Structure 1
Amino acid sequence: MPELERYSELVVEPALTSGIRELGLRSEPNLELIYRLKPELVVMNGDLAPMQEPLSTIAPICFFDPDHFGEADHLVQARHALSDLAGQLGASSAFERFAQSVDGELAAGKQRLARYDRRPLYVATVIDGRRMLVFGRNSLFQSVLDHFGIENAWSGPVSRYGHVTASADRLSGRPDARLLCVGDTSYDKLKSLLEAPVIASLPFVKQNRIVRIPDVLFYGGLPPVRRFARLASLALRAGGADE
Structure 2
Amino acid sequence: MSVLSMPSRRAVMLGGLSSAALPFPNAWGATARQGAVELRIVSMDFGLAETLIEMGLPPVALPDPASWTQWVVEPALPPGIVNLGTDREPNLEILAALKPDLIVTTPYLDAIAPLLARFAPTKTFSVYAPPVGHAFDRSVVATNQLAAALGREDAGEALIARTQACMDEARRHLAAAGLAGRPVLAVNFLDARHVRVYGAWSLFGDVLERVGLVNGWTQPSNYWGFSTVGIEALAASPASRLVYLEPIAADTLGRLAASPLWRSLPFVKAGRVIRLPAVLMFGMLPSAMRFARQLTLHLAGERNDG
TM score, norm. by length of structure 2: 0.73
Q: SS of the counterpart of 1:9?
A: helix
Give the Cα–Cα distance (whole angstroms) in 2 for the partners of residues 150 and 69 of structure 1.
Answer: 26
**How far did 1:111 drift?**
1.1
Deviation of the 1:63 alpha carbon = 1.1
Query: Residues of 2 paired with 1:128 and 1:7: CA distance?
Result: 22
Residue aligning to 1:200? 263
User: Contact 1:71 / 1:77 at 8 angstroms: preserved in 2?
Assistant: no
Rounded to whole Å, the distance in 2 between the matches of 1:53 and 1:175 is 48
Given that 1:168 and 1:199 are in contact with CA atoms closer than 8 Å, whether structure 2 keeps it comes out as: yes
Which residue pairs with 1:5 in the alignment?
Answer: 66
1:79 equivalent in alignment to 2:140:
yes
**Is the CA contact (8 Å cut-off) linking 1:126 and 1:190 kept in structure 2?**
no
1:33 to 70, 94, 99: 94
Match of 2:151 in 1: 90
Indicate which of 41, 49, 52 corresponds to 2:113: 52
Unaligned runs of 5+ in 1: none
2:82 partner SS: coil
Please state how far the C-alpha of 1:10 moved relative to its aligned partner. Answer: 0.3
RMSD: 1.9
Which residue pairs with 1:213 in the alignment?
276
Q: Is the deviation greater in 104-113 or in 90-99?
A: 90-99
1:1-243 map, 5 Å? 1-67=62-128, 70=131, 72-114=133-175, 115-116=178-179, 118-186=181-249, 188-239=251-302
Of the structure 1 ranges 25-34 and 110-119, higher mean CA displacement relative to structure 2 is found in: 110-119
Partners of 2:184 and 2:131 lie apart in 1 by 22
Distance verdict in 2 for CA 1:69–1:222, change over 3 Å: farther
AA of the residue aligned to 2:85: G
Amino acid in the other structure paired with 2:208: L
1:97 positional shift: 2.3
Give the count of matched residue pairs: 241
Q: In 2 relative to 1, CA 37–181 (structure 1 residues): closer, same or farther, beyond 3 Å?
A: same
Which protein is richer in helix relative to its size? Answer: 1
- How much does 1:205 deviate? 0.7
Query: Contact 2:132/2:222 (CA < 8 Å) preserved in 1?
Result: no
